[in-house]
Structure 1
Amino acid sequence: MDPRRQFYLLYKKPYPLCRVPHFAFNRRILASHTGSTQRYIANVRSLSKPRVFPRLGWDDIDHSILVEEEAIPTYKPERFYPVYIGEVLNHRYQVVGKLGYGSTATVWLCRDLLNHCYVALKVYIASTSTTQEIAVYDHLKTIQSNHAGQSCLRPLIEIFQVSNPDGHRNHTCLVHPPLGISLDQLLPLLPDKVMSSAMVRTTMRNVLAALDFLQTEARVIHTDIQPNNILLGIKDNTILSQFEDAEFEAPIPRKTLEDRTIYLSRPLPISYGTPILCDLGEARLGTDNQTGDIMPDIYRAPEIILNMSWDYKVDIWNVGMVIWDLFQHSHLFRARNPQGKLDDEQHLAEIQAVLGSPPPQFLARSERSKRFWDENGQWKSQVPIPNSNLESREERLEGDEKEDFLRFLRRMLRWLPEERATAKELLFDPWLMRGLFK
């Protein structure tokens, strides 16, 4: 029997990620599981001391080539902390490899030398304020709840500051449990580069459970649900030690500059764990009467495009957008003009093609709506309404399942936010529950 399974049967809890199982348990399973257990114990013990990484043996990238974060239009090198592999941050987290990057942070796999485990470390650029994100995490820590959705949300382990070597800037660092690849990394690896309906249902049950916890008990709006913010859990931690060993044995290509090294990200293998909703960097405390521009451009709810106040139902719209992306071969809305630029008129025209004309009470909530519709609610823009609808766009399903799937989507994609279903209601939708009790 797998040691992880035996641990569960003995102690009725998941195999710990950041804790060494009681040594009596280790001795008990050692006789029958010598190889795997000894490797696990050796790995745990090795995580208690820093590792010396190679100083040679990688491919050098030409300085004229923009690498990773350098290719971001807003990139300014002095704003990024110059993380290097082998570095120990906050006296305990040794960097073993790069997991990814964005416009505001880089993400690294680290050894926690005190707790003898792996963690994911997000190092923000110096100019980014994380006060709002930290406030949300601090708020979540105060909630005493048995809600199942809480386990589908990535927790925060620690926050600390690190000083830039130039002595003039500080960087906020967030420590999280490590997770596997994101859904946008998973899709290209799947047959036809889309999920099956069963995979979509499994994934969205977890996302909706996390949202139900956020909305009903935490009173938090996520505002940034997209495939790269949904990560697979890790069932077998050996993929993390393999990631580290790969960096030791075959260092990732990098570009070495005078004041920093720009590393390529090393991909993780598919981990087959439970999907987890991540990244509360854009989250808001409070579920009603919010204002401001939020959401990834093609996922924006119509009330955001029209500068209305908004509430937690923007997350429900967001879920509908993500489901379509996971299951279909194209985005539901492109929101781009013929020049390829983000265009609100084009976006609203595409939404009307799918949803029909907006109700008068919705248009009355925004002065900006007069730019696109006349006083009778008729579309008056020069951008034509596309000749398509949800039925014609969905080509993978047939019969009753297609009908159920489209009805499920329409419970999320409504002009009026108050008409969108809640996360709890969606969890019990017949399409999402298909196959659950077989």
Structure 2
Amino acid sequence: MDDSADVGYFVDSEDEGELEDECEPLSRYREGLYYPVCIGEVLNGRYRVLHKLGWGGFSTVWLARDLDQRTVALKIMVADERGDTELPIQAKLIQKLDDTSSLTLYTAAFQLRGADDHHHLCLVLPLRGTSLSDYRTRVQKPITERMSVARTALHALASVHSVGIIHRDLNLGAILWELQSIDHLTNEDIYRLFCRPRKMKIGDLGWKSGEIVQGMKGLYHLLGSSAYLGDFGMSIHAGTTVEYTVQAPMSFCAPERYHGAQPSYASDLWSYICIFATLYLSVEVVWGHGTLSVARMVDALGPLPKEWKGSYCGPGEAEDWWYDCTGLLPRPKYTHETLEHKVDRLRPDIGREERKLVLSILHQGFSYHPEQRLTATNLLASPEFVALMGKYGL
């Protein structure tokens, strides 16, 4: 078989709706935001596209093989300046940090000409596995590996902060598992292991053809035990002000940010503690969207500072009981479960000493007042964090 000839297959018309539901919106191609790609296409004269890895609000990500037969990830940003913000952030990290081994950073970059002379930045990245947001992978990993990832992620965040950068979008999706090398696999091997690309034509764009492609599946058995922090598309230099302060998903957003405060090192630390708690407990401490996530947070951590009342700027409407220290105001009939109860229910296997350590870490990170949270560097060196990692041989 000609190894470059298999470019996947087009789904039947009755399956196109299902494929559209799983993939990025077609409208973003028609609006000129996304760059249209076809499986088998060679980009920049060097990278042959083999499959799609995923997509986000500001990019699509593709599996490709370069002229040296190495597999890489191509992150193609949305058109023009909206997609150009990540490059200088990553460049600063590469330039300023001596050790970038816990980060996912570009190895090359080039421009693709889009519609109406707009351009799309393409970052060439090391190939990684699925993100921590993949529940199936996360719960199958032993607790020792999950705690190792928690420590690595904190070290990575401390490194990013050390050069004056705020991640601003830290969540489970920003951390990717290590993937064993697949450079030795033929394209045919890759399709056999991870499924041939299922795709449909985008339609006439007037300047270039493109395809909607279902993302790769079945990477689980090639995942390693390490993980890497990446996804710097929303990152900013410390001191930069942003118009919209709320982070999505809100379940990882520090509460001061949906009360008008600017992103900060401290808000990143809150987001990290959400990740740490998820890795330790296997489920998110706060979950849901919009006001539901706020309600569940207040259930777990207690009422928000009363001086914040009236400054809520997130989606939906604020509730008076969020700020009620008396507990007398009526509230929805959520199952009330404090942070302590969650730890006891989800980790009945731990002893009293470990429980004390983990609750200390969680409470320090989940302080509503950002000035009271530890920095990433201080948390990494704190006696409680060091002792907890030591219990897992780290």
Q: TM class, shorter-chain normalised?
A: 0.7 to 0.9
Which runs of no fewer than 5 residues in structure 2 stay unpaired? 204-208
Among 246, 250, 254, the residue aligned to 2:199: 254
Which of the pair has more CA radius of gyration?
1
The correspondence for 2:124, drawn from 175, 191, 205, is: 175
Task: Quote how far apart the aligned CAs of 1:173 are.
Answer: 1.1
Matched, 1:350 2:350: no
Given the alignment, which residue of 224, 235, 241 partners 1:272? 224
Q: For 2:11, which of 60, 68, 72 is the aligned residue?
A: 60
Query: Hey, what's the Cα distance between the residues in 2 that align with 1:117 and 1:382?
Result: 60
Q: Which amino acid in the other structure matches residue 35 of structure 2?
A: Y
Q: In structure 2, do the counterparts of structure 1 residues 61 and 319 end up closer, same or farther at CA, with 3 Å as the change threshold? A: farther
**Aligned: 1:372 with 2:325:** no
**Residue aligned with 1:242, SS:** coil
Deviations 1:78-122 (A, max 9, x none): 233221122111121111222112233221111221x55222101
Decide whether aligned partners of structure 1 residues 358 and 103 sit closer, same or farther in structure 2, where only a CA change above 3 A counts.
closer
1:136 CA drift (Å): 1.0
The equivalent residue for 1:402 is 355
For residues 246 and 189 of structure 2, the distance between their equivalents in structure 1, rounded to whole angstroms, comes to 39
Kindly provide the amino acid, as one letter, of the partner of residue 372 in structure 1: D
Does the Cα contact within 8 Å between 1:75 and 1:103 map onto a contact in 2?
no
Q: 1:103 to 1:288 in 2, by over 3 A?
A: closer
Q: CA deviation at 1:132?
A: 2.3
2:175 equivalent in structure 1: 230
Deviation at 1:323, TM superposition (A): 2.3
The residue number in structure 2 matching 1:46 is: none
3-state DSSP class of the match of 1:179? coil
Matched, 1:96 2:50: yes
Aligned in 2, Cα 1:178/1:277: closer, same or farther, shift over 3 Å?
Answer: same
The higher relative CO (CA closer than 8 Å, separation ≥ 6) is in: 2
Answer yes or no: is the 8 Å Cα contact 1:153–1:210 preserved in 2: yes
Matched, 1:435 2:385: no
Query: Where does the alignment leave 5 or more consecutive residues of structure 1 unmatched?
Result: 1-49, 337-341
Contact conserved, 1:232 with 1:275, CA < 8 A, in 2? yes
1:171-250 matched pairs, under 5 angstroms: 171-185=120-134, 187-189=135-137, 193=139, 195-216=141-162, 218-234=163-179, 236-237=180-181, 239-242=182-185, 244-247=187-190
**How far apart in 2 are the matches of 1:197 and 1:326?**
8
Give the AA of the match of 2:71.
Y
Check whether the contact 2:4–2:187 (CA below 8 A) recurs between aligned residues: no
Task: Tell me how far 1:184 sits from its aligned partner.
Answer: 2.4
CA contact (8 A) 1:137 1:156 kept: yes
> Paired residue for 2:206?
none
The TM-score, its normalising length taken from structure 1, stands at 0.73
Q: How many residues align?
A: 367
Change (3 A) 1:223 1:243: farther
Q: Secondary structure at the match of 1:393?
A: helix
CA distance in structure 2 between the partners assigned to 1:357 and 1:154 by the alignment: 37
3-state SS in 2 of match to 1:246: helix
Do the aligned partners of 1:53 and 1:85 also contact (CA within 8 Å) in 2? Answer: no
2:93 maps to 1:140: yes
Q: C-alpha distance in 2, partners of 1:276/1:232?
A: 7
Distance 2:152 2:24 in 1: 32
In structure 2, how many angstroms separate the alpha carbons of the residues matched to 1:383 and 1:51? 62
Distance 1:434 1:287 in 2: 38
- CA 1:247–1:261 in structure 2 vs 1: closer, same or farther (change >3 Å)? farther
**Counterpart-to-counterpart distance in 2, 1:374 and 1:436:** 40
- Residues 382 and 136 of structure 1, relative CA distance in 2, 3 Å threshold: farther
Aligned to 2:238: 286
> What's the CA shift string for 1:7-36, capped at 9, x where partnerless?
xxxxxxxxxxxxxxxxxxxxxxxxxxxxxx
Q: TM-score, normalised by structure 2?
A: 0.80
Percent identity of equivalent pairs: 24
Partners of 2:324 and 2:196 in 1: CA distance: 64
1:207–1:277 contact (8 Å) kept in structure 2: yes
Aligned CA distance change for structure 1 residues 240 and 62 (closer, same or farther; 3 Å): farther
* Aligned-pair CA distance for 1:224: 1.5
- Counterpart of 1:105 in structure 2: which amino acid? S
Distance 1:381 1:215, change over 3 A: farther
